Amino acid sequence: MNSSKTKTQWSGYWFTLPAALMLGALVVYPLLYGFYISLFDTNLLFRWNFVGLRYYLEVFTNAEFLGKILLTLKFTFFTVAGHFIVGMILALLLNQKFPGRVFFRAVLIVPWLFPEVVVGLLWKWMLNPMYGLFNQFLQDLGLIAGPVSWLGNQETAFISVVIAAIWKGFPLVMILLLAGLQAIPDELYEAGQIDGASRQQIFRFITLPSLRSVLMVTLILDTVWWFKHFTIIWILTQGGPVNATSVVSIDIFKTAFEYFRFGQAAALAVVVFFVCFLIGYVYRRKLGEDDD
Amino acid sequence: MIKRGNHPNYALTYSVLTLAALTVIVPVLWMVSTSLKTMVEMFTIPPVWIPKVITWEAFSRIWVDYPFGGYFWNSLVVVASATLISLAFSALAGYGVSRFQFRGKGVFLTFLLITQMFPSIMLLIPYYKVMRTLGLINTYTGLTLAYVSFTIPFCSWMMLGYFQGIPKELDAAASIDGCGKFRTFAQILLPLTLPGLAATAIYSFLVGWNEYMFAMILTTSENMKTVPVGIGQLIGQYRIAWNDIMAVSLVASVPLTILFLFLQKYLVSSLTAGAVKQ
């Protein structure tokens, strides 16, 4: 009499197997193969010298790479913080009923719809030291005396890259949080009001806790996505000037496709994976404590 | 009730939102303005907002002087195929996971989540090697497979969320009426998930249409490049024609914007469904 159980087992497999097999071939196999590559000093053509775990050991003794990880963490921190501050404020405002709400919502989503390459180029043009809008604007406001080469300067390049990344990424956080806010039942707020809670208390004790699962998922995804971000930075600075914006994904890309040290690049990528995984794990621990 | 409150502070709300909207609109208008300028007017100090001579030449140059017609075609073919494949696989998987208990289900779900964690560059290096060996560099197949690999996992999550929202009694009713499992899925459930499918399709389209790094490495020949790669290489040139770049950037953003305008309701609710249920 095990027939019905076996049947659903099999049905589950029939529906899930195509995706599982596809991902096995397109994700699992390449990942394992990437790990294999990381054990060699190779140009992927004729040179395949087995080096074992040497590249992994190098990562942890190589101050330069650790510095790049720190730089990437810094970039991710400011970008994600920017997304959440801007996204949360806008989501709270858009969660009210007022004329023009639909208009603002539509406009504020726009950066998310632009391809990353386009966002990169747009900011590169706006930050152009000679003809750029940004310098002109700051000069008109009297904030700077003369044109600044935002991307050509080690300190300002980092800030510029973060600003472009915030501009591109805040809409997604805003939408997700807004949807989270709208899912909070009205009764909770009514109850809070009857109990005489202030606006701050309502936010602190009703809104935030109800948003927690949305916040956590958004935070994890946003952090991981921007930690491994490539395109906008590549278009804006290619990691320069010197190494001011050389986040890990840029560094790995160059190691592989400019210096043709594929094995080393593959090893770095594996390390980045573990860092991302760790970020996700720490967040879950911190934020999801009494979830499961 | 305070939620979507009756007494929002209009002045504050409007000023903050207007400021935010301006930071979005001003760069976009600047794009439009630049794309309508002549070479001469583009390089003036201080920059002018409304060009004296408005010209649409940049919009015609991108098809004539640069092979953007071909790039758009390549992008369309690759992204549309990847989207169709992702939809088929993730709808099946989403249904399977939402309806049946089986060994390995948990592993499968965890795996889908983990794929979001690894840097795509981790796949790029092995892909480059494998595709060269198999002769898939510079082919639609090669790029399509690469895009499918990053869309199927998230699309499966989205579809799973969608199927979970549909009562299981429907399946039971269909099976009493004598429907097989697959017919139940294809004829009863799938039509109900159309909004979910639409959302999943835009997500997948968005990811593929925007992708830059894989396309840059996996296509080397001029006639196989995609739109982002084509746009990206315009800044390698000696004198940068910003008007042309802005024109093609605007054109490249059109498909997504149109898609989004029509389907935004579905996309937003699906993205959140995944996030909330997770």
Residues 240-269 of B with CB under 8 A from A: 242, 245-246, 249, 252-253, 256-257, 260, 264, 268-269
Check whether B95 has a pLDDT greater than 50: yes
Residue bearing the bigger pLDDT, B212 or B241? B212
- Within 10 Å of residue A270's Cβ, how many Cβ atoms? 20
Q: For residues B160 and A267, give the distance between their C-alpha atoms in angstroms, rounded to a whole number.
A: 34
Check whether A254 has a pLDDT greater than 50: yes
A202 at interface of B, judged by CB pairs closer than 8 A: yes
Q: What is the mean pLDDT of residues A57-79?
A: 91
Check whether B11 has a pLDDT greater than 70: yes
Own/partner long-range contacts of B229-238 (Cβ < 8 Å, ≥24 apart): B229/B71, B230/B66, B230/B67, B230/B68, B230/B71, B231/A115, B231/A117, B231/A118, B231/A121, B232/A117, B232/A121, B232/A235, B234/A121, B234/B66, B235/A121, B235/A124, B235/A235
Residues 14-43 of A with CB under 8 A from B: 14-16, 18-20, 22-23, 26-27, 30-31, 33-34, 37
User: Which residues in chain A are closer than 8 Å to B95, comparing Cβ atoms?
Assistant: 15
How many angstroms from the chain centroid is the CA of residue A169? Answer: 8
Annotate A132-175 with DSSP letters as a single string. -HHHHHHHHTTS-SS---TTSSHHHHHHHHHHHHHHHHHHHHHH
- At B136, is the pLDDT very low, low, confident or very high (cuts 50, 70, 90)? very high
- Name the closest residue on chain B to residue A217, using Cα atoms: B275
How many angstroms from the chain centroid is the CA of residue A285? Answer: 19
Check whether A1 has a pLDDT greater than 50: no
Check whether B4 has a pLDDT greater than 90: no
Test mutation, A117, A139, A189, A246, chain B, max B CBs within 10 A = A117
Q: HSE-up of B67 (CA within 13 Å, CB side)?
A: 14
Give the SS3 label for residue B117.
coil
Question: What is residue B1's predicted lDDT score, i.e. its pLDDT?
Answer: 38
Question: What is residue B271's predicted lDDT score, i.e. its pLDDT?
Answer: 67
Paired with A41 in beta bridges are: A49
Give the SS3 label for residue A142.
coil
Positive or negative, the Cα torsion across B274, A161, A102, B16?
positive
- At A106, is the pLDDT very low, low, confident or very high (cuts 50, 70, 90)? confident
Chains A, B: CB pairs < 8 Å:
307
- At B272, is the pLDDT very low, low, confident or very high (cuts 50, 70, 90)? low
B139 at interface of A, judged by CB pairs closer than 8 A: no
Paired with B152 in beta bridges are: none
Rounded to two decimals, what is the model's pTM? 0.90
Q: What is the mean pLDDT of residues B65-79?
A: 94
Q: For residues B126 and A63, give the distance between their C-alpha atoms in angstroms, rounded to a whole number.
A: 27
Structural Rg of chain B based on CA atoms: 23
The domain locations on chain B are 1-55, 57-273
Question: What is residue A260's predicted lDDT score, i.e. its pLDDT?
Answer: 93
Q: For residues B252 and B246, give the distance between their C-alpha atoms in angstroms, rounded to a whole number.
A: 10
Q: For residues A19 and A269, give the distance between their C-alpha atoms in angstroms, rounded to a whole number.
A: 25
Give the SS3 label for residue A50.
strand
Q: For residues A163 and B192, give the distance between their C-alpha atoms in angstroms, rounded to a whole number.
A: 41
Q: For residues B274 and A172, give the distance between their C-alpha atoms in angstroms, rounded to a whole number.
A: 14
Residue bearing the bigger pLDDT, A183 or B238? A183
Answer whether A143's CB lies under 8 Å from B61's CB. Answer: no
B271 at interface of A, judged by CB pairs closer than 8 A: yes
Q: For residues B219 and B199, give the distance between their C-alpha atoms in angstroms, rounded to a whole number.
A: 29
Check whether B5 has a pLDDT greater than 50: no
* Residues B179-230: tens digit of each pLDDT: 888 888 888 888 888 888 988 998 899 899 999 999 999 999 999 999 999 9
Test mutation, A23, A261, A291, chain B, max B CBs within 10 A = A23
B235 at interface of A, judged by CB pairs closer than 8 A: yes
CA distance B232 to chain A (A): 6
Q: Give the class (CATH, top level) of B57-273.
A: mainly alpha
Residues 225-284 of A with CB under 8 A from B: 225, 228, 230-231, 234-235, 248-249, 252-253, 256-257, 262, 265-266, 269-270, 272-273, 276-277, 280
Structure tokens at B220: 């080397």
Amino acid at site A176: L
Check whether A288 has a pLDDT greater than 80: no
User: Which residues in chain A are closer than 8 Å to B28, comparing Cβ atoms?
Assistant: 110
Indicate the burial class of B16 (C-beta count within 10 angstroms; 0-12, 13-18, 19 or more).
Answer: middle
Question: What is residue A3's predicted lDDT score, i.e. its pLDDT?
Answer: 56
Query: Which of A23-32, B22-31, B253-262 is the least confident region?
Result: B253-262
Question: What is residue B276's predicted lDDT score, i.e. its pLDDT?
Answer: 52
Question: What is residue B224's predicted lDDT score, i.e. its pLDDT?
Answer: 94
Q: For residues A258 and B92, give the distance between their C-alpha atoms in angstroms, rounded to a whole number.
A: 41
Residues 61-80 of B with CB under 8 A from A: none
E strand or H helix at A40: strand A40-42
Question: What is residue B227's predicted lDDT score, i.e. its pLDDT?
Answer: 96
Sequence-distant (≥ 6) Cβ neighbours of residue A77 within 8 angstroms: none
Arithmetic mean of pLDDT over chain A: 89
Exposed e or buried b for every residue in B226-262, given b needs 16+ CB within 10 A? bbbbbbbebbeeeebbbbbbbbbbbbbbebbeebbee
Check whether B257 has a pLDDT greater than 70: yes
Structure tokens at A46: 């004729």
- At A116, is the pLDDT very low, low, confident or very high (cuts 50, 70, 90)? very high
Question: How much of chain A exceeds pLDDT 70, in percent?
Answer: 95
Structure tokens at B271: 């993205």
B175 at interface of A, judged by CB pairs closer than 8 A: no
Q: For residues B191 and A144, give the distance between their C-alpha atoms in angstroms, rounded to a whole number.
A: 59
- At B71, is the pLDDT very low, low, confident or very high (cuts 50, 70, 90)? very high
Query: Which of A167-176, A228-237, B36-45 is the least confident region?
Result: B36-45
Q: What is the mean pLDDT of residues A114-136?
A: 92
Q: For residues A97 and B5, give the distance between their C-alpha atoms in angstroms, rounded to a whole number.
A: 6
